[in-house]
Amino acid sequence: MDKLTYRRNPVVLVHGIFDTGRVFDKMIPYLTQRGWSVYDLDLVPNTGHGSLDSLAQQVADFVDTTFAPEQPIDLVGFSMGGIVSRYYVQRLEGINRVQRFVTISSPHNGTWVAYCNPGVGCLQMRPDSAFLQDLNQDVEMLSQINFTSIWTPYDLMILPANSSQVPVGREVIVPVMTHAWMLTDVRSLSAVTEALTQPVGAIATQQLPPSWLHTQIASNPGK
């Protein structure tokens, strides 16, 4: 298959802590109406007490049982789901079939809120955890695919909010006022749509300039 392609792949959505696939009830019809086939799954347990690597295996199993082996997919992970998805991509061979990967308000460098929960999954999401250090030591893997991190500076679940920054791929900042609204605000939904329409391989290692980010935010005012 041509490395540079605009083909719309099936999209798999991976939710965050204490959520189920229903957290995407606004995003799913938004994407479906624009031509995507969208899939979601329920991670168990969703409380932070299961390890993120075991949840990532659930993603791998879902993909393997839902799609033909030759079918490429796009992956969108919200919050904890973004880190679960990263483990799938980086450690469970997901990089061999994921072409576009989007994280939304995910604690790539940990969040202080994870100290509020003693579960092993939350231990893995604490700043400087061995789990995150392992993923981040070869984060350059993500430059092999079309990767986008979307986040808001007003996030009170990802502390500090800029923990959602990743040194590879694209970064889109949207001034949404809460963590949960990142799945319902038209600005973040538009950012996800834009990320999923990027040609594969075209800008996988490109950092967009601040002027582009400001333009993106200004062109999608309001909620």
Q: What is the pLDDT of residues 45-74, one digit of tens each?
A: 999 999 999 999 999 999 999 999 999 999
Residue 157's pLDDT band (boundaries 50, 70, 90)?
A: very high
Name the nearest CA neighbour of 125 among 179, 55, 51, 18. Answer: 51
Distance in angstroms between the alpha carbons of the first and the last residue of the chain: 38
Q: Can you give the residue range of the structural domain that contains 100?
A: 11-197
Asked if the structure places residue 202 within a domain, the reply is no
Asked if the structure places residue 96 within a domain, the reply is yes
CA distances from 49 to 44, 118, 119, 123, 125 (A): 9, 8, 4, 9, 12
Of 1-5, 41-45, 216-220, the range with the highest mean pLDDT is 41-45
Asked if the structure places residue 92 within a domain, the reply is yes
Residue indicated by tokens 């231990």:
123
Residue 4's pLDDT band (boundaries 50, 70, 90)?
A: low
Asked if the structure places residue 73 within a domain, the reply is yes
Q: For the chain, how many structural domains are there in total?
A: 1
Q: What is the pLDDT of residue 145?
A: 96
Asked if the structure places residue 215 within a domain, the reply is no
Q: What is the pTM of this model?
A: 0.88
Residue indicated by tokens 């200004």:
218
What is the C-alpha separation between 27 and 23, in angstroms, rounded?
A: 9
Asked if the structure places residue 147 within a domain, the reply is yes
SS (H, E, C) 87-123: HHHHHCCHHHCEEEEEEECCCCCCCHHHHHCCCHHHH
Asked if the structure places residue 220 within a domain, the reply is no
What is the C-alpha separation between 144 and 128, in angstroms, rounded?
A: 25
Name the nearest CA neighbour of 75 among 106, 44, 109, 114. Answer: 106
Asked if the structure places residue 217 within a domain, the reply is no
Kindly list the strands in the beta sheet with 11-14, ordered across the sheet, starting from the edge strand earlier in the chain.
38-40, 11-14, 73-78, 98-104, 146-151, 170-173
Q: What is the pLDDT of residue 200?
A: 85
Domain harbouring 73, CATH code: 3.40.50.1820
